[in-house]
Amino acid sequence: MRPYKEYIDNEILVTMAQMDKPSKIFDYLYLVSDCWASETLNKLHYRTIVGYILNVTREIDNFFPESFTYMNIRVYDVEATDLLSHWPDTFNFINTARYGQAVLVHCKMGVSRSASTVIAYAMKQQHWSLDVALTYVRERRPIVKPNEGFMKQLQTYSGILSARSGCKISVFHMIW
């Protein structure tokens, strides 16, 4: 039992350390936990970089409404939560932000809700598969772990994006 306890203790320390800092996903997109976003954002140089905050929680308020443009998706981190219906709006919000200042995306831990939203964004923006987007985001924030319900929605979203891509190609070929 002792080796498992040491392993678990180490994993907890690694996870806590990763939650304490923002993870740069793209030049204009950071993924963070609520702890980092609420306590230190106004004090650090990120204040001059970040102009937009996407808050993917029901339980956390927007702490600096006078300083940032917010979008709040009020959802809980439970498998039955519908994130998929919000992704078109979050995609547009992030894309609007990227042409001015960076956007910071957070939930409580920066692990499931916000991470799923960032993965969905990467899939659509970069035309990536779910596997490629998930791997890419995890390389930048190893603690990313969407819950099972969000993973199913990401798989559905992947199918939607693939179908839309296929429709565009088919229409293009029909025209030419």
pLDDT of residue 168 exceeding 80: no
15 in a structural domain: no
Q: Answer for the pair 70, 53: CB distance below 8 angstroms, yes or no.
A: yes
Residue 167 annotated among the catalytic residues of the structure: no
Which candidate, 103, 137, 99, places its Cα nearest to that of 120?
A: 137
- % of the chain surpassing 90 pLDDT: 56
Q: Which of 37, 73, 107, 118 is catalytic?
A: 107
pLDDT surpasses 50 at 174: no
- Note the residue count of the chain: 176
- Report the range of poorest mean pLDDT among 37-41, 56-60, 74-78, 135-139: 37-41
CA dihedral sign, ordered 122, 28, 45, 40: negative
Indicate whether 6 belongs to any domain: no
Higher pLDDT pick, 139 / 21: 139
In a domain, 41, yes or no: yes
Q: What is the CATH number of the domain that holds 66?
A: 3.90.190.10
Q: How far apart are the first and last CA of the chain?
A: 67
Total tally of structural domains belonging to the chain: 1
The answer to the question of residue 45 being in a domain is yes
pLDDT of residue 171: 41
Query: Within a domain: residue 87?
Result: yes
Quickly state the pLDDT bin for 116 (edges 50, 70, 90): very high
Strands 23-26 and 69-72, how do they pair? Answer: unpaired
The reply to whether 84 falls in a domain is: yes
Can you tell me which residue has the tokens 């499931």?
Answer: 112
Which amino acid belongs to residue 49? I
Q: Is residue 170 part of a domain?
A: no
The predicted-structure confidence for 60-112, as pLDDT tens digits, reads as follows 888 778 888 999 999 999 999 999 999 999 999 999 988 888 999 999 888 99
pLDDT tens for residues 10-29?
Answer: 455 445 444 557 889 999 99
**Containing structural domain, residue 124:** 22-165
> What is the pTM assigned to this prediction?
0.81
The predicted pLDDT at position 20 comes to 59
Nearest CA to 94 among 172, 7, 27, 14?
27
8 A C-beta contact, residue 117 and residue 90: yes
